[in-house]
Amino acid sequence: MDEGGAGFLGLVKRADRAYLRALRAVVLALAAVSGLAILAMIAVTCADVVLRAFGRPLTGAFDIVRVAGAVAIACALPYTTAVKGHVAIEYFFQKLNRPGRILVDTVCRLLVMGLFSVFTWQCVMYGNSLRRTGEVSLTLQIPMFWVAYVIAGACAVTVLVKIHNLLHPGREMIKP
C-alpha cells in the first residue's frame, strides 16, 4: 500500500515538474515575442522619422506600432506575473499576521485568476467578432482579429502562472 502511495506521489511530482517546464517555456516564448514587438516598434518609429526627414514617411507606421504595442504589452504579462514583477503595496500587507497574509494573498490571487479568465473569454469573443466583421487596420489593411486572440492567449497563460503561484506560495516561477 505504501508503494502505491509513493508511486502516485512520485507521478504527481513528475507531472508538476513537466507542467512547470512547459509553462516556463511558454512564458519565456511570450516574453521573446514581447521583446521582438518592442524592437519592431523601435525600428518602425526610427525608420519613419528618418524617412520623414526625406519627405517620404513610412506608410502604415501607425498601424504597425499600434499592433506591436498591443502584442508587446499582452505578451509581457505572463513573464511579469511569473517573476512577481507587478507593483505591490507591502506596507499594509506586512502589518497582517501570517494567517492574515496567507488569506489576503490567496483571495487576491483567486480574484486575479477570475479577472484574467474573464479577460480571456472576452478577448476571444471580441476576436470572433472582429473576424466575422472583417475588421482591418486603417492603412495597411492588416486583419485585426488575431491581435485579440494573442491577448486572450497571454491572459490565459497569466491565469496558469497564477495557479502555479497559488500552489507554490512564496516562490517566483522564474527568477528575473
pLDDT digits (tens, 9 = 90+) for 78-130: 999 999 887 776 777 778 888 888 888 899 899 999 999 999 999 999 999 99
Confidence of residue 169 (pLDDT cuts 50, 70, 90): confident
Does the pLDDT at position 30 exceed 90? Answer: yes
* pLDDT at 2 > cutoff 60: no
Residue 164 has pLDDT above 50, yes or no: yes
Question: Which of the four pLDDT bands, split at 50, 70 and 90, describes residue 5?
Answer: low
Q: Which residues pair with 143 in a beta bridge?
A: 136
Q: What confidence category does residue 134 fall into, taking pLDDT thresholds of 50, 70 and 90? A: very high
DSSP result, 54-116: TT-PPTTHHHHHHHHHHHHHHHHHHHHHHTT-S---HHHHHHS-HHHHHHHHHHHHHHHHHHH
User: pLDDT value at position 1?
Assistant: 44
Report the share of the chain in percent with pLDDT over 90: 70
Mean pLDDT value across residues 135-164: 96
Q: What is the DSSP string of 115-133?
A: HHHHHHHHHHHHHHHHHHH
Phi and psi (nearest 5°) for 143? -60, 140
- State the number of CA atoms in the 13 A half-sphere of 61 facing the CB: 15
